[in-house]
Amino acid sequence: MAGPTLGEWLSEGPFTLAMSSGFFGFFAHAGLISVLEERGLLPARVSGSSAGALVGGLWAAGLGAARLERELLELRRADFWDPAPGLGLLRGRLFRARVEALLPVRGFDECRVPTTLSVFDVLGRHTRVLGSGALAPAIVASCSLPGLFQPAWVERRPLLDGGILDRPGLAGVPAGTRVLHHHLAQRSPWRRPGSSALEPPQRAGLVALVVRDLPRVGPFRLHRGAQAFAAARRGAERALGLAVVGDRIEV
């Protein structure tokens, strides 16, 4: 007997939306969010790393899917490109200013759903989960890809991309939680081929959605963002009608 479709499974009860890191993968995450919002399948909790932290944090703060789409598709390299000497090409000030300007609220406690974002603590060399305090610095820290961005300082600690050790963005999600995990399958520019970190996570109550062959986007390929957004939307729309078999759906 066939199991429920993904759409039916999401409708059965509260779920957490967890979104993985992935080089400039925020276009694809935004495509998924737009479909969930249209269908009224809204998460009760949001978690993420890097690209997932950016989209999850902005949405949880109250930025609707249509506004997210518009802002991302209008993004230009000059909006965040501020090279400066330091431990990374970009200082990150332009990026932080843009995030702060977009956020409808300032703190985690003002978000419409509980939100946790993963970051990498440089001095402690471990993942930290941020879920309280100022939201913009946490988003920026989680997106601070080594080499591209200089470390972001939060509470006097240098922080980098949450995907370094928590690529799935699940560190802040309690065990036993029903989770829809949006897994970006494309290879990271700083992970070796075949790395286990590139595989969808497995845990009880989690269903991973994997949209294959998404267009690769980067700071010099921002024009592909619209293609990635549209491809993720098509994949999510198709996936909602497919039966949940095992712990993942690939489209």
| pTM as predicted | 0.94
pLDDT score recorded for residue 199: 87
- Rounded percentage of the chain residues whose pLDDT exceeds 70: 94
pLDDT tens per residue across span 159-168: 999 999 999 9
- Write the CB contacts of 30 (distance below 8 Å, at least 6 apart in sequence): 55, 65, 68, 69, 72, 229, 232
pLDDT tens per residue across span 193-228: 666 667 899 999 999 999 999 999 999 999 999 999
| Burial of 241: CB neighbours in 10 Å, binned 0-12, 13-18, 19+ | exposed
Q: Give which of 38, 8, 50, 65 is closest to 180, Cα–Cα.
A: 8
pLDDT at 115 over 80: yes
Integer CA distances (angstroms), 215 to 58, 60, 158, 195, 221, in order: 23, 26, 32, 20, 10
pLDDT tens per residue across span 58-102: 999 999 999 999 999 999 999 999 999 999 999 999 999 999 999
